[in-house]
A and B are shown apart, each in its own frame.
Chain A
Amino acid sequence: MTTADLLTALPGLMRGAGMTLLIVLIAIAGGIALGLPLGTLWSALPSRRLLRSLLWLFDRVFRGFPALVLLFLVYFGVGSIPGMRISPFAAVALALGLRSAAYQSQLFRAALEMVDKGQRDAAASLGLSGTATFIHILLPQALRFSLPGLANEYSVVLKDSALAFAVGVVELMSRGKFLSMATKDTATPYLLIAAMYWVLTQLGVTFFRQIEQRRRIPGLGTHASQSRANRGTQP
């Protein structure tokens, strides 16, 4: 592949990267929108059997299959229902979004459980209602605990987005395929694509790290210096 080829291909590759980013952002956003309520429900209502079974089912369905299988099920499955049509992009967004929601519900459930039990007691003793406690005390802390997990989820969804061409969405991976075909070169284009994926991953990681820094609550964390065992032994 010549440098001239590279230069003519760059705009197309950037468009592919843009589409990849769009897919990832929508899937993650959808995942948060659905996963946060689900995770909250799960951690708040451990006793309601029917609800728990439904949540469990959702989790198993969307975490139990390879992303590609899910993608085909959504795209061809919905399409096979008479009268229903779903665009390739919508199918990708839906499949990856629901899948991310399933993972994120676990993420948020764990994050909520990580909040020190004492916080709820303290809130109660101050006379805060359940809702107020959740919004002002529990949720802010849980969100901070969930940031590393979210960064990881971003990375995972980014890689899953490479499957989108199976249903016809042209993103970065497929642009790489086209380039490889057009230049009859099977190595260089993919090295280029790999580099671009790496950049996209780094963007996400840096983004989440920035949020972690800016929204850090001093003293909140799982440092050994804050653990119960050490209480009373530090100055």
Chain B
Amino acid sequence: MSKRFSQTAVYSLLLSLAVGLAAVPAVAQTVYVDGIDAAFPPFSFINTQGEAEGFDVDVVRWIGEEMGFDIQIVPVDWDAIVPTLKLGTIDLIASGMTITQERLEQVAFTDPYWSIELAVVVRQTTDSDGEPIGEKNLFTAMQPGQRVGVQRGTTSQSWLEENVAANGIEIEIVLYDNFLLALDDLEIGRVSSAVMDEPTALSAIGGRPLAVAGTIATGEIYGYAVRKDDTELLSLLNEGLRRIQASPVWDELVTEWLVGQ
């Protein structure tokens, strides 16, 4: 028994050593870890090959090259993304994140780089001319008793809570893990509309019997988030944003990701 026992012991020690080494993250001075929502096209998502893609992914990679640092992109559960930033596992969030007062209490944002509106998505039907039209419009979608789907933790949710529900219009806000599930439920009729960032809505409803009933101009602006004390990365990102917006790359990326889906 002795020999086998010591063999097993050696193997398990080697295994745990190997695993221990693999588990230790290698962080060098010039590598910043970018946390993204893996499910937020067109700003950040993981493609079928398992690689990160999207407008913000491209922008941050460009800024990294320009300003001289490496970027490592990791998908993070959106619900936990701010605590994960504060914890230090990631160094920035570049993922179509809206700058809000609430979030400003927790993190620091770069200068705003894009503004969006919220889109109200409804099922598609045909009008008297046979043209596709939304089943509801902005007003009929926000009537008492209507079920409206949103992704949990997004500005869509807070906007609806503060501007519709709080004003006495008793819609039922249905929360989803991600906006795709909301759209699925919309298609089968479990909710009568879904509210989400407009670029995201446009990227997702192609080929589905859904339409944008209208948009809500919330004046929302996107920024990249860093830890409040990380002034170095913040200035790197701001300078990088200035440079990319002054270069033709910006228009290229905007055309590729954000316009005319």
A9 in complex: contacting residue of B50, B76, B77, B79, CB < 8 Å? B50
Which of A42-50, A104-112, A170-178, A221-229 participates in binding chain B? A170-178
- What is the bound-complex CA distance between A89 and B181, given in angstroms? 28
- What is the bound-complex CA distance between A230 and B84, given in angstroms? 62
Q: Given A87-B24, A168-B84, are A179 and B48 also a contact pair (CB < 8 Å)?
A: yes
Query: B74–A168 contact, CB under 8 A?
Result: yes
Quick check: is A208 within 8 A (CB to CB) of the other chain?
Answer: no
| Set of chain B residues within 8 Å of A29, measured between Cβ atoms | 12, 15-16
A154-180 vs B: 1/0 string, CB under 8 Å? 000000000001111010001101111
- What is the bound-complex CA distance between A5 and B48, given in angstroms? 6
Quick check: is A8 within 8 A (CB to CB) of the other chain?
Answer: yes
- Per the 8 Å Cβ criterion, residues 13-34 of B in contact with A are 15-16, 19, 23-25
B80 in complex: contacting residue of A11, A12, A89, A166, CB < 8 Å? A166
B50 in complex: contacting residue of A11, A76, A184, CB < 8 Å? A11
- What is the bound-complex CA distance between A178 and B16, given in angstroms? 30
Query: B23–A12 contact, CB under 8 A?
Result: no
- Per the 8 Å Cβ criterion, residues 1-58 of A in contact with B are 5, 8-9, 11-12, 15, 22, 26, 29
Quick check: is A85 within 8 A (CB to CB) of the other chain?
Answer: yes
- What is the bound-complex CA distance between A89 and B22, given in angstroms? 10
Query: B204–A184 contact, CB under 8 A?
Result: yes
Quick check: is B46 within 8 A (CB to CB) of the other chain?
Answer: yes
Query: A182–B45 contact, CB under 8 A?
Result: yes
| Set of chain B residues within 8 Å of A165, measured between Cβ atoms | 75, 77
| Set of chain B residues within 8 Å of A181, measured between Cβ atoms | 38-39, 41, 45-46, 178, 180
| Set of chain B residues within 8 Å of A5, measured between Cβ atoms | 48
A interface: dominant SS: helix
Query: B48–A168 contact, CB under 8 A?
Result: no
A178 in complex: contacting residue of B39, B79, B87, B181, CB < 8 Å? B39
- What is the bound-complex CA distance between A182 and B23, given in angstroms? 28
Query: A166–B46 contact, CB under 8 A?
Result: no
A178-220 vs B: 1/0 string, CB under 8 Å? 1111111010000000000000000000000000000000000
Quick check: is A90 within 8 A (CB to CB) of the other chain?
Answer: yes
Query: A15–B75 contact, CB under 8 A?
Result: no
- What is the bound-complex CA distance between A186 and B46, given in angstroms? 15
Q: Given A79-B87, A87-B24, A174-B38, are A167 and B48 also a contact pair (CB < 8 Å)?
A: no
B60-91 vs A: 1/0 string, CB under 8 Å? 00000000000000111101100110011100
- What is the bound-complex CA distance between A80 and B86, given in angstroms? 9
- What is the bound-complex CA distance between A155 and B13, given in angstroms? 24
B174-190 vs A: 1/0 string, CB under 8 Å? 00001011001000000
Quick check: is B49 within 8 A (CB to CB) of the other chain?
Answer: yes
- Per the 8 Å Cβ criterion, residues 87-108 of A in contact with B are 87-90, 93
Which of A11, A85, A165, A178 has the most chain B CB within a 10 Å cutoff? Answer: A178
> Which residue in chain B gives the minimum CB-CB distance to A6?
B48
| Set of chain A residues within 8 Å of B115, measured between Cβ atoms | none
Q: What 9 pairs between A and B have smallest CB-CB spacing?
A: A12-B50, A178-B46, A181-B39, A79-B87, A9-B48, A8-B48, A89-B23, A182-B48, A5-B48
Chain A interface (Cβ < 8 Å from any Cβ of B): 5, 8-9, 11-12, 15, 22, 26, 29, 75-76, 79-80, 85, 87-90, 93, 165-168, 170, 174-175, 177-184, 186
Given contacts A26-B16, A178-B50, 11 further A-B contacts (CB under 8 A): A11-B49, A29-B16, A75-B87, A85-B87, A88-B89, A168-B80, A177-B39, A181-B38, A182-B48, A186-B181, A186-B184
Listed by A's residue number, 5 A-B pairs whose Cβ atoms lie within 8 Å are A11-B50, A79-B87, A168-B74, A174-B38, A181-B45
Chain B interface (Cβ < 8 Å from any Cβ of A): 12, 15-16, 19, 23-25, 35, 38-39, 41, 45-50, 74-77, 79-80, 83-84, 87-89, 178, 180-181, 184, 204
